[in-house]
Chains A and B, each alone.
Chain A
Amino acid sequence: MKHLSKAALVVAGLALAACSQPHLDDGYQGPGAGTGEAGSVSDPTSVAHFNEAIGDRVLFAVDQSTLGEQGRLVVLAQANWLLANTEYTAVIEGHADEQGTREYNLALGARRAAAVEELLVAQGVSANRLRTVSFGKERPLEVCSQESCYERNRRAVTVLAAGLSG
């Protein structure tokens, strides 16, 4: 996961072919961790390209977990990328803003992550390459207590990882 050299990718790809059970948990380092070497945005197979050009996150309205039109387009593009780059798995993190109780926000974040996962699967991404997790309101991206921050915190982030831990 730390060094995604071409050789490692090939090995990972071979291993994936041989093994139908990617070890998602082992490659996941927690919120926003992503991969160690993201590569160049200009390389369409790179994590950097996925994160920045395609977009690794979608935003939600207050207390909602339905994807908006813009969010839907982002997830469709994520699906195409994942279908083209099968050596990657993803953990989808759901987050909430601070306006809510802790437990409810955990459950709400899970709904948001699931909304992204469901659309990815509907587009043909194998469910066993995906996993969801909710951080509720525990890991805000922005720290102010205004809508300008809240709207960026109500998010689901698709965090890529190399699928196998070896």
Chain B
Amino acid sequence: MKNLAATLLIGLCAFGASVHTAIAQSGPLRIEITDGVIEPLPYAVPNFVAETPGSNQISKDMARVIAADLNGTGLFREIPAKAHISTITHFGNPVQFSDWKAINAQALITGGVSVSGNELEVKFRVFDVFAGQELGNGLRFKGTTDGWRRMAHKVADAVYGRITGEGGYFDSRVVFVSESGPKNDRKKRLAVMDYDGANLQYLTDSKDIVLAPRFSPTGDQVLYTSYETGFPQVYVLNVGSAQRRVLSNQSGTMSFAPRFSPDGKSVVMSVTDGGNTDLYKMDIGSGKRTRLSQSPSIETAPSYSPDGSQIVFESDRSGTQQLYVMSANGGEAKRISFGQGRYGTPVWSPRGDLVAFTKQNKGRFHIGVMRTDGSEERLLTASFLDEGPTWAPNGRVIMFTRETRGADGASALYSVDVSGRNLKRVEIGGGGSDPSWSPLQ
């Protein structure tokens, strides 16, 4: 329990000054899944200083969004404002470290906000309180007032990065299927939101069943499956304009489970002809299709490795659903899942080190991760029905669908740390399924 706090502090020191170089070389914070209970790092983020008459509200709101981002990771614990001794009145003034030490704030975040017309500027500093020094240099972001939440997320990403030594994930979006209505007449529509549930926008109406949207590598396009024609087909939609076009519409076949290649130039998907489902790659520019698997079994849920050289997918060629890895050009596949039960919906992590999956065993569903060779399998969740993991851009957090049992069963989005800690529902004000996390914006 003391360990993480100590490790986090080492991280802090590492950024603090060159005299700590020896400690810095021991490496940035590593949150190993085998760790026991972790004590979150206590920190303070007082209201940012309003530097212009119009910036009072935004300066408070930004500090709240930053705190929600950091607290939401489970790695940080905010010391509430009512416990603060010092007040930050000027961004440039020296920090009274003793006042923050006294309340045991190990990190302090200060900021200043100015608004001119619809232009917004935020600057911030991060302090290692116990070392009595600034952690990295102050930074400044400029944007527009309607983008204030994004700017707050950017600040939080920078703070998270400096303290953990890893990339953040707060300035990101999630596209998913918004769900309403009873189980036997579920209304589904595509929606996109900030990773924390804010700024929700619908991308389609609920006239036709839509499934499993997937972001493009640049986050500006979404692949999904729609029953618009009465038969499932893969579509591509521009997030900005909500304009869509069918990508694969070969009469007499169904297509689904699409994903972009990391270079965004092609799409891998399942195509069903008669009763047989195989994997195909389609070049987006030319529309040319290449068949990647030729087998009478079910091949579906393909996902590229981050370097684009390999594809992980599920197949029941062994008799039950299992995970396989093959070259992105097809060919022989190597089975990687060997535990009890059935494995599906594999997704390669953005770091390339892990595959997240859905496991079904003894009437329960789990979200789990394993190394890309199938070793070190770990189950992160267990419930009546968990499925469809998606990775946060930094590979630290997984979002997925959890459906409850029974006639009133409903789907919701949940997230969990790759360590298995910090399981929580993502508040979207309704039902949701099939999340796909965007890259960092």
* Interface flag for A99 (CB, 8 Å): yes
What B residues does A133 contact at CB under 8 A? Answer: 230-232, 254
What A residues does B300 contact at CB under 8 A? Answer: 103-104, 106-107
The CA-CA distance from A6 to B364 in the complex, in Å, is 53
A contact residues, range: 35 or more
Given contacts A138-B211, A141-B184, contact A101 B387 (CB under 8 A): yes
Asked if A29 and B256 sit within 8 Å, CB to CB, the answer is no
Asked if A104 and B275 sit within 8 Å, CB to CB, the answer is no
The CA-CA distance from A40 to B300 in the complex, in Å, is 43
Mask: chain A, 47-86; 1 = CB below 8 Å from B; 0 = not: 0000000000000000001000000000000000000000
* Interface flag for B415 (CB, 8 Å): no
Asked if A143 and B409 sit within 8 Å, CB to CB, the answer is yes
Q: Tell me the minimal C-beta distance from A67 to chain B in angstroms.
A: 12
* Interface flag for B158 (CB, 8 Å): no
Asked if A140 and B345 sit within 8 Å, CB to CB, the answer is no
* Interface flag for A157 (CB, 8 Å): no
The CA-CA distance from A129 to B363 in the complex, in Å, is 39
Q: Tell me the minimal C-beta distance from A23 to chain B in angstroms.
A: 10
Given contacts A134-B232, A139-B184, contact A103 B212 (CB under 8 A): yes
Mask: chain A, 116-145; 1 = CB below 8 Å from B; 0 = not: 011000000000000111110011111111
Q: Tell me the minimal C-beta distance from B363 to chain A in angstroms.
A: 8
The CA-CA distance from A138 to B403 in the complex, in Å, is 13
The CA-CA distance from A130 to B314 in the complex, in Å, is 29
The CA-CA distance from A107 to B277 in the complex, in Å, is 6
Chain B contacts with A in 206-259, Cβ cutoff 8 A? 209, 211-212, 227, 229-232, 251-252, 254, 256-257
Q: Tell me the minimal C-beta distance from B255 to chain A in angstroms.
A: 10
The CA-CA distance from A158 to B234 in the complex, in Å, is 24
What B residues does A29 contact at CB under 8 A? Answer: 230
* Interface flag for A102 (CB, 8 Å): yes
A33's closest neighbor in chain B, by CB? B230
Mask: chain B, 326-364; 1 = CB below 8 Å from A; 0 = not: 000000000000000000110000000000001010010
Q: Which of A106, A108, A112 lies in contact with B254, CB distance below 8 A?
A: A106
Q: Tell me the minimal C-beta distance from B106 to chain A in angstroms.
A: 42
The CA-CA distance from A113 to B385 in the complex, in Å, is 25
Asked if B298 and A143 sit within 8 Å, CB to CB, the answer is no
Asked if A114 and B254 sit within 8 Å, CB to CB, the answer is no
Given contacts A28-B230, A101-B388, A134-B254, contact A144 B272 (CB under 8 A): no
* Interface flag for B274 (CB, 8 Å): yes
Q: Tell me the minimal C-beta distance from B273 to chain A in angstroms.
A: 9
Asked if B407 and A143 sit within 8 Å, CB to CB, the answer is yes
A134's closest neighbor in chain B, by CB? B254
Asked if B275 and A114 sit within 8 Å, CB to CB, the answer is yes
B274's closest neighbor in chain A, by CB? A114
What A residues does B405 contact at CB under 8 A? Answer: 145
Given contacts A107-B300, A110-B254, contact A25 B232 (CB under 8 A): no
Q: Which of B186, B275, B387 lies in contact with A102, CB distance below 8 A?
A: B387
The CA-CA distance from A131 to B230 in the complex, in Å, is 11
* Interface flag for A44 (CB, 8 Å): no
What B residues does A115 contact at CB under 8 A? Answer: 275
* Interface flag for A111 (CB, 8 Å): yes
Mask: chain B, 164-189; 1 = CB below 8 Å from A; 0 = not: 00000000000000000011101000
Q: Which of A107, A112, A113, A142 lies in contact with B184, CB distance below 8 A?
A: A142
* Interface flag for B285 (CB, 8 Å): no
The CA-CA distance from A159 to B407 in the complex, in Å, is 26
What A residues does B314 contact at CB under 8 A? Answer: 101, 103-104
What A residues does B212 contact at CB under 8 A? Answer: 102-103
- Which 6 pairs across A and B sit closest by C-beta, in order of nearness? A114-B275, A107-B277, A101-B344, A107-B298, A111-B275, A143-B183
Other than the given A98-B409, A101-B314, A104-B344, 19 more pairs (CB < 8 A) read: A99-B360, A101-B358, A101-B388, A102-B387, A103-B212, A103-B256, A103-B314, A104-B300, A106-B256, A106-B257, A110-B254, A113-B275, A118-B274, A118-B275, A133-B230, A133-B232, A139-B209, A143-B407, A145-B384
Give residues in B with beta carbon < 8 Å to A.
Answer: 182-184, 186, 209, 211-212, 227, 229-232, 251-252, 254, 256-257, 270, 272, 274-277, 298, 300-301, 314, 316, 321, 344-345, 358, 360, 363, 384-385, 387-388, 403, 405-407, 409, 434
What are 15 pairs between A and B in contact, CB < 8 Å?
A: A91-B230, A101-B345, A101-B358, A102-B212, A102-B345, A103-B345, A104-B298, A104-B314, A107-B270, A132-B275, A133-B231, A143-B182, A143-B407, A143-B409, A144-B407
